[in-house]
C-alpha cells in the first residue's frame, strides 16, 4: 500500500501560504483609505464609491509585467516589479481622465517563497500609496507543475473613477493641437523579450555587470521602475488643459498615439526634438536592430504624450518642467509620421 499523500507532498504548502497572507495584512492596511470596507480574508474586496461626483464613471484596466520578471528572477530583486505593475495600470486609466480608486494583484508561483512574495507585494503596496489608491486585495496561487523553480507571474487590476463630463476620449482633439511629450524612466515594461536577448546573449552581460554608458549594472538599468504619470499630469487635468493622452507602451509612439485621436486625424512627430536615451542606443547597436524596429518596439524615451490646444502649450510645458517638451502636432490624415532628424542608430 502506498504511503498517504498530503498537499505539501504534491508541492503546495498551505501553511506557508497562510503565513504569507498574514504577512500581507499590514501591507493592505497601509494602502487602504477611508473608503476601504473590507480586510484580509474576505472573499471579495469592498470599496465605497466616493461622494462628490454627479455622474461618476468607473474605469477598469488589467495588465502584467511580462518578461521583465525574468530579469527580477536573475537578479534576485523583487521589490520593483510590483511598482511596475501598479504604475502601468494607473497610467492606462489616467489617459481617460480617471484617478485610481483601488487595486487588486494576482501572484502565481511554482513553489511559494515567502520572502519573495513579501517583496513583490511590498512593491505593490508602496506604489498604491504613491498613487493614492487602496490595495483592496488579491490572490496568491501555488502551482508547482505550472511554473519553474524560482519563477512566478504577476498581474494587476485597477479600478478608477472619472466624472462623465471629464472623460478623455479624444473627441476634443483638433487639427493643429500641439503634442507634448513626457520623459520615460527607461524601458518601462515593454520590449523585454528583445532587450533580454540583446543584453544577456548578444552583449554577454550578467545582471551585475556594468551597463555600457551607465553608472549602473545591467540588472539595475533593466529593472528601472515604470514611471507613474498620475501626480505629474493630474493638476493639468483639473485645469482642463489636456484634450487627450497616450501612454506609450508596446508598439511605441506609432502604435499608441493613434488610439486616442479621432477618425481622420493623425500626428506629425519631430524625432529631433529629444535625445534618445543611452539604453536604447546600446540595444540598437549591440543587437543590430533597425531604427524603425526600435521605434516600433520601445518607447525610445517617451512615456506619455499629451494633446493640448495651441494656446495652452506653453502653460503645460511650464507646469511639467524639464521632463517635458514639444514633440509635434495633430494633423489631418491617419497614423503617425516621423519627421525631422530621427536618431539613426
pLDDT tens profile 183-234? 999 999 999 999 999 999 999 999 999 999 999 999 999 999 999 999 999 9
Cβ neighbors of 6 (< 8 A, separation 6 or more) are none
pLDDT for the residue 2: 66
pLDDT for the residue 339: 85
For the chain, give the percent of residues with pLDDT over 70: 90
Beta strands in 233-292 (DSSP E): 244-247, 265-270
pLDDT for the residue 5: 63
Element housing 159 (H / E):
strand 152-163
- The answer on pLDDT for 312 being more than 80 is yes
Residue length, the chain?
A: 345
The residue-averaged pLDDT of 106-126 equals: 93
pLDDT for the residue 341: 62
Average pLDDT, the chain: 91
Q: How many CB atoms lie within 10 A of CB 4?
A: 6
Residue of higher predicted confidence among 140 and 212: 212
pLDDT for the residue 187: 98
Work out the angle between the directed axes of helices 81-94 and 114-131 (0-180°, nearest 10). 30
pLDDT for the residue 24: 67
pLDDT band at 46; cut points 50, 70, 90: confident
CA dihedral angle for residue 188, residue 67, residue 9, residue 113, rounded to 10 degrees: -30
> SS3 of 48, please?
coil
pLDDT for the residue 278: 96
> SS3 of 313, please?
helix
pLDDT band at 327; cut points 50, 70, 90: very high
Q: Give the C-alpha distances (Å, rounded to integers) separating 121 from 93, 104, 108, 117, 138.
A: 21, 11, 12, 6, 10
- The answer on pLDDT for 9 being more than 60 is no
pLDDT in tens, 238-261: 999 999 999 999 999 999 999 999
Residue of higher predicted confidence among 318 and 40: 318
111-130 burial, b for 16+ CB within 10 Å, e for fewer?
bbbeebbbbbbbbbbbbbbb
In this structure, are residues 234 and 257 in contact, taking their beta carbons and an 8 Å threshold? no
* 168 DSSP assignment: -
- The answer on pLDDT for 25 being more than 70 is no
The residue-averaged pLDDT of 62-86 equals: 97
Q: How many CB atoms lie within 10 A of CB 140?
A: 18
Q: How many CB atoms lie within 10 A of CB 31?
A: 25
> SS3 of 210, please?
strand
Amino acid at each position: 500500500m502506498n504511503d498517504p499523500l498530503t498537499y505539501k507532498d504534491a508541492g503546495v504548502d498551505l501553511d506557508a501560504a497562510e503565513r504569507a497572507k498574514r504577512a500581507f495584512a499590514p501591507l493592505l492596511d497601509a494602502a487602504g483609505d477611508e473608503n476601504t470596507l473590507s480586510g484580509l480574508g474576505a472573499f471579495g474586496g469592498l470599496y465605497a464609491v466616493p461622494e462628490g461626483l454627479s455622474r461618476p464613471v468607473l474605469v477598469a484596466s488589467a495588465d502584467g509585467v511580462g518578461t521583465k520578471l525574468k530579469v527580477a528572477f536573475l537578479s534576485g530583486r523583487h521589490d520593483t516589479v510590483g511598482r511596475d505593475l501598479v504604475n502601468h495600470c494607473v497610467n492606462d486609466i489616467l489617459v481617460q481622465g480617471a484617478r485610481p480608486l483601488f487595486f487588486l494583484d494576482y501572484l502565481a508561483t511554482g513553489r511559494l517563497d515567502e520572502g519573495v512574495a513579501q517583496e513583490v507585494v511590498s512593491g505593490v503596496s508602496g506604489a498604491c500609496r504613491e498613487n493614492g489608491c487602496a490595495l483592496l486585495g488579491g490572490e496568491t496561487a501555488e502551482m508547482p507543475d505550472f511554473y519553474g523553480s524560482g519563477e512566478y507571474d504577476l498581474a494587476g487590476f485597477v479600478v478608477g473613477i472619472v466624472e462623465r463630463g471629464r472623460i478623455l476620449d479624444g473627441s476634443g482633439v483638433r487639427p493643429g493641437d500641439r503634442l507634448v511629450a513626457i520623459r520615460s524612466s527607461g524601458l518601462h515594461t515593454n520590449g523585454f523579450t528583445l532587450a533580454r536577448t540583446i543584453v544577456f546573449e548578444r552583449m554577454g552581460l550578467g545582471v551585475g555587470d556594468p551597463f555600457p554608458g551607465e553608472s549602473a549594472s545591467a540588472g539595475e538599468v533593466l529593472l528601472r521602475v515604470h514611471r507613474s504619470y498620475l501626480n505629474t499630469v493630474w493638476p493639468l487635468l483639473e485645469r482642463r488643459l489636456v484634450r487627450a493622452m497616450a501612454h506609450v507602451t508596446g508598439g511605441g509612439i506609432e502604435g499608441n498615439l493613434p488610439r486616442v485621436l479621432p477618425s481622420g486625424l493623425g500626428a506629425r512627430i519631430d524625432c529631433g526634438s529629444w535625445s534618445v536615451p543611452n539604453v536604447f542606443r546600446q540595444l540598437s547597436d549591440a543587437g543590430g536592430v533597425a531604427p524603425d524596429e526600435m521605434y516600433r518596439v520601445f518607447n525610445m524615451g517617451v512615456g506619455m504624450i499629451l494633446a493640448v490646444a495651441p494656446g495652452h502649450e506653453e502653460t503645460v510645458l511650464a507646469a511639467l518642467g524639464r521632463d517635458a517638451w514639444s514633440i509635434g502636432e495633430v494633423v489631418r490624415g491617419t497614423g503617425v509620421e516621423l519627421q525631422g532628424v530621427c536618431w539613426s542608430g
